[in-house]
Amino acid sequence: MSDLPPTDSNAPPYSVSELAFALKRTLEDRYGFVRLRGELSKVTHHGNGHVYLTIKDDKAAIDGVVWKGNVRGLGVRPEHGLEVIVTGKITTYPAGSRYQIVIDSMEAAGVGALLAQLERLKAKLAAEGLFAAERKRPLPSMPAVVGVITSPTGAVIRDILHRIRDRWPCRVLVWPVVVQGEAAASQVCAAIRGFNAIQPDGPVPRPDILIVARGGGSVEDLWAFNDETLARTVAEGTIPLISAVGHETDTTLIDFVSDRRAPTPTAAAEMATPVLAELRALISDFDRRLNRCGSRTIEERRTRLVSAARGLPRPADLLALAQQRFDIASGRLDAALQRNTNVHAQDLLKVTARLTPDALRRQHAAKADRLADLSRRLNACGTRAPERAAAHARLPALGDRLREAARRRLTRAEDQLTNLDKLRQSLNPERPLELGFALVRKADGSLARSAAELVSGERVNLKFKSGDRDAVIDGDGGLIPPTPAGKPRLRPATPPVGQGDLF
Backbone Cα Rg of the chain: 63
What is the CB neighbour count within 10 angstroms for residue 213? 25
Count, residues in the chain = 503
Enumerate the β-bridge partners of residue 107.
85
What is the structure's pLDDT at 496?
A: 46
Q: Please state which CATH number belongs to domain 16-111.
A: 2.40.50.140
The answer, yes or no, to whether residue 379 has pLDDT greater than 80, is no
Output the pLDDT for position 72: 83
Distance separating alpha carbons of residues 168 and 162, to the nearest angstrom: 10
For residue 4, is pLDDT > 60? Answer: no
54 in Cβ contact with 61 (< 8 Å):
yes
Mean pLDDT of all residues in 453-466: 82
What residues contact 58, with CB distance under 8 A and at least 6 apart? 113
Residue 500 above 70 pLDDT? no
**Residues paired with residue 460 on neighbouring β-strands, in sequence order:** 471
pLDDT at 392: 66
Alpha-carbon distance of 158 to 111, in angstroms, equals 37
pLDDT of residue 1: 43
CA distance 42 to 119: 19
Determine the pLDDT at residue 499: 46
| Helices (runs of H) and strands (runs of E) counted in the chain | 12, 13
Least confident of 25-29, 122-126, 150-154, 277-281: 25-29
Contacts of residue 142, defined as CB under 8 A and 6 or more positions apart, other chains included, come to 168, 274, 279
What CATH architecture does domain 143-274 belong to? 3-Layer(aba) Sandwich (3.40)
* H-only helix segments in 149-264: 155-167, 184-197, 228-236, 253-257
Q: What is the number of alpha carbons within 13 Å of residue 431 lying toward its C-beta?
A: 10
Q: What is the pLDDT of residue 493?
A: 46
- 44-62 average pLDDT score: 89
pLDDT for 238 beyond 90: yes
Most confident of 155-169, 422-436, 458-472: 155-169
Q: Average pLDDT for residues 75-101, to the nearest whole number? A: 83
Averaged pLDDT, 327-336: 84
User: Quick one: pLDDT band at residue 162, thresholds 50, 70, 90?
Assistant: very high
DSSP character at residue 447: B
Q: Could you please report the per-residue DSSP string of 96-147?
A: TTEEEEEEEEEEEEEE-HHHHHHHHHHHHHHHTTTT-GGGPPPPPSS-SEEE
The predicted-structure confidence for 407-425, as pLDDT tens digits, reads as follows: 888 888 888 888 888 877 7
pTM (predicted TM-score): 0.45
Query: In the predicted model, what is the mean pLDDT of residues 419-439?
Result: 75
User: What pLDDT does 114 receive?
Assistant: 65
Residue 359 has pLDDT above 60, yes or no: yes
Residue 239 in contact with residue 210, Cβ under 8 Å? yes
Q: Which element (helix H / strand E) includes 66?
A: strand 61-66
User: Mean pLDDT across the chain, nearest whole number?
Assistant: 83
pLDDT for residue 188:
95
> Residue 423 has what pLDDT?
78
Answer yes or no: are the C-beta atoms of 150 and 241 closer than 8 Å.
no
Q: CA–CA separation, 390 vs 466, rounded Å? A: 69
pLDDT digits (tens, 9 = 90+) for 191-222: 999 999 999 988 999 999 999 999 887 777 88
- At residue 7, the pLDDT reads 52
